[in-house]
Each structure stands twice: as C-alpha cells, then as structure tokens.
Amino acid sequence: MRHQLLSSALVLASGLLGLVESKPHFQVSARDLYVAEACDDFVYGATKTQVGKVCASILEGTMTVTFEALTEGFTYSDLHVWVGTSAPTDGNPGRAPGGFPYTNGNGKCTIAAGGATGTCTFPVASSWRSCTEVLYIVTHATIANSSGSQTAWGAGTCWVTDKGNCPKYWTITRTCYCRSTSFPEPVTMTSTSTTTYTSTSTTEYLTSTTSTYVTSTTVEYSTTEYSTTTVTSMDTLTSTSTPEPITTTVTCVNPY
Ligand SMILES: *[C@@H]1O[C@H](CO)[C@@H](O)[C@H](O)[C@H]1NC(C)=O
C-alpha cells in the first residue's frame, strides 16, 4: 500500500515535471535592411542657410524621415521625400518636389504641432533591400516665417545646377542586422501536489522584453531551467531536478 501510494506519487511528480517546459528565451529574426538614424543639415537659399536637420532611419520594413524643429521662427508647411537606388536626375524624379512620392498631401507625411516638426513613414520598397551600398534620398519642405516662405532641402549634391537654391540629394548607407529578442526568463517555478490530487503550478516571469540588433551571423544562447517537486502522501518525497543548460544555435540568415 505504501509502495503503491509512493509510486502513484512518483507518477504524479513526473507528470508535474512535464509542466516545466523548456521555452526559447531568445529569438533571432531574419536578417533585414536596417539603417540607424542618419541626419543631414536642412538648408534654404543659394547660400545654404541652415534652419534645421532632417534624419532618416529604416527598421523592420519601414522607413522613417523626421524633419526636426526649425530655427528663426520658421514652420513647415509642406513636406516631400523621394528615395531611390540611383542618384536622382532631371528625368526621375524631376526637379519639382510635387512629383516626389512621399508627402503630407497623400498622408505619407504629417506635420505636427502647428508646423514645428514633420515625420514621413512609408514601407521599404523591395528594390531598396540590399545589405551594401547607399540609398539616395531627397528631403524637401516648404517653410515659412512671418515675412514669407522658402523652399528648403536636405543638404547634399545638386542634380539641377541652373538654380541657386538647387534640388539636392543625400545618401544613407545600407546595412543589415538580425533582431535578437530576449524574452522574460522564468525566475521561479514551483509545482506542488498532495494525495488529494490538487496541484498547482506557478511560473513567474520578468516583465520586460528587450530587442537588440546583432551583426554576427550566428547567435548562441543557453537556457537553464530548475524545478523542484514536493509530493506529500503517506510518505514525503522531495525531488529536485536541474536539467543541463540547453544550447541552441540560431543562424542570422542573409536574405539578399
Ligand atoms: C524670414 O525668412 C527670411 C528668408 O525667407 C529671412 O530673410 C528673414 O530674416 C526671416 N524673418 C524673420 C523675422 O525671422
């Protein structure tokens, strides 16, 4: 009888041990186009008077262009952005900012706080996906102060040279990273059972999830899980299990 109870307690104990699953605590996404924020002076006029900064970044398939706060009482009244894999020309996209594809006029850009700042967000085109070379970017805005308006550009190379305040492009360097996400680690795990066959299983997790971007092609991680099972019957059995750390190799795949 004693042995029977003990063996059924052991069966129950191993069943509860099965609840303590090994879960991956790290995940590495496919390698993807990633551009950390790159900024450029924002200028107007033939003298290239600087009035602000414009910045661009690419993360998880979305490109973001931010028009930073302007100096000298200027506000943004119109935004236009063009992006390409070769330098702009008079034919493509032409010299008129109205022909650029990302603008507040079509909802790809928004002007915030009465013209203080602007932001454009749009999906990365498949032709932009490469882990090398540059993207060409044209950032234009109409800016205004109390005495009138100006057409302003992200500083760079003019592709039309017969104008003093010429249309300009700048470049951002393409790189690729894998996103490495670390999930909360279990900090306590307890499983208890009694001869009445009520059981509880508790797992606590830390609340934060962190993501970092990695350049290496391979990421290794180890996971250690501990479980302690206490079974109370006519006898008391305490078992402690400490599984070996699990080492898994996840490859950061280059898709291009
Ligand atoms: C407004 O902008 C013009 C350039 O368009 C500049 O010459 C002038 O000084 C600015 N006025 C004020 C009040 O900042």
Last residue of a domain, one of 180, 201, 227: 180
249 within domain boundaries? no
Per-residue pLDDT tens digits for 151-200? 999 999 999 878 788 999 999 998 888 777 765 554 444 444 433 333 44
For every residue of 188-232, DSSP letters joined together read: EEEEEEETT--EEEEEEE-S--EEEEE-SSEEEEEE---EEEEEE
Q: What is the mean pLDDT of residues 249-255?
A: 61
Centre a 10 Å sphere on the Cβ of residue 205 and count the other Cβ atoms it contains: 12
Among 42, 70, 72, which residue has the most ligand 1 atoms within 8 Å of its CB, making it the best to mutate? Answer: 72
Domain range enclosing 57: 28-180
| Residues forming a β-bridge with 150 | 143
Ligand 1 within 6 A of CB of 49: no
Q: Are residues 50 and 110 in the same domain?
A: yes
Q: Is residue 7 part of a domain?
A: no
> Could you tell me if 75 and 176 lie in one domain?
yes
Q: Give the up-direction half-sphere exposure of residue 195: CA atoms within 13 A in the CB hemisphere.
A: 11
- For residue 23, tell me if it sits in a domain: no
- 150 within ligand 1 shell (Cβ under 6 A): yes
Residue 31 has a pLDDT of 74
- Is residue 18 over pLDDT 50? no
Rounded to the nearest integer, the mean pLDDT of the chain is 75
Query: Which has more confidence, 186 or 133?
Result: 133
Residues 108 and 235 occupy one common structural domain: no
Among 180, 205, 231, give the residue marking a domain's end. Answer: 180
Domain count, the chain: 2
Q: Rounded CA gap, 120 and 249, in Å?
A: 38
- Say yes or no: 73 and 41 in one domain: yes
Query: Does residue 169 share a domain with residue 130?
Result: yes
**pLDDT tens digits for 38-97?**
999 999 998 899 999 999 999 888 999 999 999 979 999 999 999 999 999 999 999 999
pLDDT: which is higher, 217 or 182: 182
- Cα gap 136→124, rounded to integer Å: 13
Are 47 and 159 within one domain? Answer: yes
64 in the same domain as 38: yes
pTM to 2 decimal places = 0.70
Phi, psi of 10 (to 5 degrees): -65, -40
pLDDT band at 256, cuts 50/70/90?
A: low
Quickly list DSSP for 4-21. HHHHHHHHHHHHHHTTS-
How far apart, in whole angstroms, are the C-alpha atoms of residue 71 and residue 66? 15
Q: Relative to the CA of 148, which ligand 1 atom is closest?
A: 5
Domain end point (choices 148, 165, 180): 180
Q: What is the pLDDT of residues 228-243, one digit of tens each?
A: 555 555 555 555 555 4
| Within-domain flag for 137 | yes
Ligand 1 atom 13, closest CA: 146
Asked, for residue 163, whether it belongs to a domain, the answer is yes
